[in-house]
């Protein structure tokens, strides 16, 4: 007997190769702004700053518009780049919206799951960017419920974004929902807060964080069908 009826996926880092999206978009924004781009220095520094900003955003410390701009201000300052961070921040977002690199095997996996499960998506991200990337990647047509934090004003790990996705999908029974995501602090903690089963997608085999215990852990997405049966 199958236990789950509704599979809720995170997007970036789970279905979408966000590292690739990010490095491509960053290079593209610098190119469009006519600024020299040293990938080795800029990308690492951007990662460091961006993850700091996202942590602060997830904790409610800064707003989405602040996050968009502040990460480039800090990057320019830290790398000594002479240019307009606001301009590059805008170009970065437009480039992001045009890049939708999925991990290999994602569409066949969704295709395989679709006849047996209702599928949904919850993502902390900017609505214009995520809507466009979901459409470009072809993942949107598989999803019964899509919840984008910037669109509804609630982000993971808050329970509201999960409630929204279930409502969108017309699904009421929480005991048949499984959330699958690569972030312990947003996807897994969010699933625990909401009271649903959780599956941590951990391709980098990172050590678990103290206090956040997922129900399942997989290192490859194709392990998912195995834990569903
Ligand atoms: Mg993620």
99 CA distance to ligand 1 middle (Å)? 16
Q: What is the pLDDT of residues 80-126, one digit of tens each?
A: 999 999 999 999 999 999 998 999 999 999 999 999 999 999 999 88
CATH number at residue 120: 3.40.50.1000
Strands 177-181 and 6-9: parallel
Q: Are residues 66 and 127 in the same domain?
A: no
Q: Measured between alpha carbons, how far is 152 from 77 in angstroms, rounded to an integer? A: 33
- In three-state secondary structure terms, 203 is coil
**Confidence category of residue 16, pLDDT binned at 50, 70, 90:** very high
Q: Total domain count for the chain?
A: 2
Instruction: Give me the phi and psi of 217, to 5 degrees please.
Output: -135, 130
**Confidence category of residue 1, pLDDT binned at 50, 70, 90:** low
Tell me, what's the pLDDT at 39? 87
Q: Which residues pair with residue 181 across a beta bridge?
A: 200
Q: Are residues 88 and 141 in the same domain?
A: no
Q: Are residues 109 and 209 in the same domain?
A: yes
Please answer whether residues 132 and 65 qualify as being in contact, where contact means their C-beta atoms are separated by less than 8 angstroms.
no
- In three-state secondary structure terms, 137 is helix
Tell me, what's the pLDDT at 60? 86
Report the pLDDT averaged over residues 176-205: 97
83 CA distance to ligand 1 middle (Å)? 30
Is the entire prediction scored with pTM above 0.85? yes
- Kindly state the tokens that stand for 81: 């780049």
Q: Are residues 214 and 153 in the same domain?
A: yes
Q: Are residues 111 and 146 in the same domain?
A: yes
Instruction: Give me the phi and psi of 48, to 5 degrees please.
Output: -60, -50
Q: What is the pLDDT of residues 137-176, one digit of tens each?
A: 999 999 999 999 999 999 999 999 999 999 999 999 999 9
Residue 1 lies in a domain: no
124 CA distance to ligand 1 middle (Å)? 8
Sign of CA dihedral 70, 76, 79, 80: negative
- Kindly state the tokens that stand for 73: 């201000």
Q: What is the pLDDT of residues 44-89, one digit of tens each?
A: 999 999 989 988 987 889 988 899 999 999 999 999 999 999 999 9
State which residues form the domain around 26.
18-97
Q: Is the pLDDT of residue 225 over 70?
A: yes
84 is annotated as an active-site residue:
no
Report the pLDDT averaged over residues 15-43: 93
DSSP 8-state assignment for residue 102: B
% residues pLDDT > 70 (the chain): 100
Q: Are residues 198 and 86 in the same domain?
A: no
Q: Mean pLDDT of all residues in the chain?
A: 95
Q: Are residues 81 and 118 in the same domain?
A: no
Q: Are residues 181 and 122 in the same domain?
A: yes
- Among the candidates 60, 80, 97, a domain finishes at 97
Picking from 2, 7, 214, 211, the residue whose alpha carbon sits closest to that of residue 109 is 7
Q: What is the pLDDT of residues 180-193, one digit of tens each?
A: 999 999 999 999 99
Residue 135 lies in a domain: yes
9 CA distance to ligand 1 middle (Å)? 9
User: Counting runs of H as helices and runs of E as strands, what totals does the chain give?
Assistant: 10, 6
- Kindly state the tokens that stand for 24: 């491509």
167 CA distance to ligand 1 middle (Å)? 22
Q: Are residues 182 and 211 in the same domain?
A: yes
Q: Are residues 144 and 73 in the same domain?
A: no
Instruction: Give me the phi and psi of 205, to 5 degrees please.
Output: 50, 50
Q: Measured between alpha carbons, how far is 71 from 53 in angstroms, rounded to an integer? A: 7
Q: Is the pLDDT of residue 13 over 80?
A: yes
123 CA distance to ligand 1 middle (Å)? 7
- Among the candidates 37, 62, 97, a domain finishes at 97
Q: Are residues 10 and 114 in the same domain?
A: yes
């Amino acid at each position: 007997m199958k236990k789950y009826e509704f599979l809720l996926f995170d997007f970036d880092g789970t279905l979408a190769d966000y590292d690739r999206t990010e490095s491509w978009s960053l290079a593209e924004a610098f190119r469009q702004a006519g600024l020299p781009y040293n990938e080795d220095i800029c990308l690492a520094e951007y990662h460091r700053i961006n993850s700091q900003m996202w942590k602060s955003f997830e904790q409610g410390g800064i707003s989405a518009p602040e996050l968009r701009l502040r990460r480039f201000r800090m990057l320019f300052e830290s790398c000594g780049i002479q240019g307009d961070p606001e301009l590059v921040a805008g170009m970065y977002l437009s480039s992001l919206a045009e890049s939708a690199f999925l991990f290999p095997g994602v569409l066949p996996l969704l295709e395989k799951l679709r006849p047996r499960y209702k599928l949904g998506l919850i993502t902390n991200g900017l609505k214009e960017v995520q809507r466009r990337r979901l459409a470009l990647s072809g993942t949107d047509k598989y999803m019964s419920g899509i919840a984008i934090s910037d669109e509804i004003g609630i982000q993971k790990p808050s329970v509201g974004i999960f409630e929204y996705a279930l409502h969108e999908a017309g699904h009421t029974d929480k005991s048949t929902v499984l959330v699958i995501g690569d972030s312990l602090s947003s996807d897994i903690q969010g699933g625990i807060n909401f009271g649903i089963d959780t599956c941590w997608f951990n391709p980098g085999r990172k050590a678990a964080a103290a206090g956040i215990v997922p129900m399942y852990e997989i290192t490859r997405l194709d392990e998912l069908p195995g834990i569903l049966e």
